[in-house]
């Protein structure tokens, strides 16, 4: 199948498929006589694997690791679990940081009158020099 059909069937955009080929996340498929890429079932399976991993927040290098583990029939599930738990821990760290940012913005918005006056605690806070 061509790249458009592979995109539709895998749920991965054509642009991302080309990108994954460029960074060697997926092997470049053979080309037909007219130069069109020719994807097969294994390519679709790999693209779906990548899409599922991206949906769970894995960055490219961790997906590369997971793909290696996926194809390694001698792997231990402990290796896969370690990668998943490390990602979960990083997502938790980011969730805490996002909650703190959300709370800070709500606090500032609560202090702002939101009327016709020019003074605004949100602007005042954003204009403060960074503390290091």
Q: Do residues 89 and 57 touch, judged by C-beta distance below 8 A?
A: no
Query: What local confidence, expressed as pLDDT, does residue 36 receive?
Result: 84
Give the tokens for residue 63.
């997906």
> Helices marked H in the chain — which ranges?
3-10, 14-22, 41-55, 60-71, 77-111, 121-127
Between CA 26 and CA 50 the distance in angstroms is 9
Query: What local confidence, expressed as pLDDT, does residue 130 receive?
Result: 85
Instruction: Spell out the per-residue pLDDT of the chain, length 132, in tens.
Output: 999 999 999 999 999 999 999 999 999 888 887 878 899 999 999 999 999 999 999 999 999 999 999 999 999 999 999 999 999 999 999 999 999 999 999 999 999 998 988 889 899 999 999 887
Query: What local confidence, expressed as pLDDT, does residue 77 receive?
Result: 95
Query: What local confidence, expressed as pLDDT, does residue 93 receive?
Result: 98
């Amino acid at each position: 199948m061509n790249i458009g059909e592979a995109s539709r069937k895998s749920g991965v955009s054509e642009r991302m498929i080309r990108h994954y080929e460029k960074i060697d996340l997926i092997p470049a498929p053979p080309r037909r006589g007219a130069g069109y890429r020719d994807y097969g079932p294994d390519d679709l399976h790999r693209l779906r694997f990548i899409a599922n991993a991206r949906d769970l927040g894995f960055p490219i290098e961790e997906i590369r690791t997971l793909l290696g583990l996926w194809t390694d029939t001698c792997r231990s599930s402990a290796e896969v679990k370690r990668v998943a738990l490390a990602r979960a821990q990083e997502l938790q760290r980011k969730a805490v940081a996002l909650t703190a940012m959300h709370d800070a913005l709500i606090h500032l918005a609560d202090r702002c009158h939101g009327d016709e006056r020019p003074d605004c605690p949100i602007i005042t806070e954003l204009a403060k020099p960074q503390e290091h």
